[in-house]
């Protein structure tokens, strides 16, 4: 008898990709990022290249309300960060 391949796949653990990682962000009076602390190093934000917000799952106990920034740091590194507008915490998308 041939084993059902879907059963084998469902028994293996599922691993999420591109999870956000908490980061420290120095912000201005308007909550815009000025500098990011990454691996004990302060990186100034050279430019904000894009900005967008999401407001999803508002009906749940923990809605997803975020302001995303695509930034370039002073060393030329592109980075996507966001501020959780519910908790006020900052995260790097896909960060490690």
- The answer as to whether 1 is a domain residue is no
Tell whether 11 is covered by a domain: no
Residue 7 lies in a domain: no
- Domain of 32, in residue numbers: 19-92
Q: List strand residue ranges (DSSP E) for 1-96, in order.
A: 21-27, 33-38, 41-56, 64-73, 78-84, 90-92
Is the residue at 3 inside a domain?
no
- Asked, for residue 5, whether it belongs to a domain, the answer is no
How many folded domains does the chain comprise?
1
Q: Rounded to whole angstroms, how far apart are CA atoms 91 and 53?
A: 14
Is 86 inside a domain boundary? Answer: yes
Domain contains 14: no
| pLDDT of res. 62 | 84
pTM of the model: 0.77
Query: Looking at the domain assignment, is residue 85 inside a domain?
Result: yes
Which residues have CB under 8 Å from 70's CB, separation 6+?
Answer: 48, 49, 50, 51, 78, 79, 80
| Span 9-18, pLDDT tens digits | 555 577 777 7
Q: Binning pLDDT at 50, 70 and 90, where does residue 79 land?
A: very high
């Amino acid at each position: 008898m041939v084993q059902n391949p879907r059963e084998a796949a469902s028994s293996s653990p599922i691993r999420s990709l591109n999870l956000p990682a908490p980061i420290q962000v120095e912000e201005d009076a308007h909550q815009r990022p000025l500098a990011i602390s990454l691996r004990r190093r302060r990186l100034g934000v050279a430019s904000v290249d894009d900005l967008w917000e999401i407001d999803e799952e508002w009906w749940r106990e923990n809605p997803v309300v975020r302001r995303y920034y695509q930034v370039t740091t002073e060393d030329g590194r592109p980075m996507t960060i966001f501020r959780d507008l519910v908790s006020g915490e900052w995260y790097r998308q896909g960060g490690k």
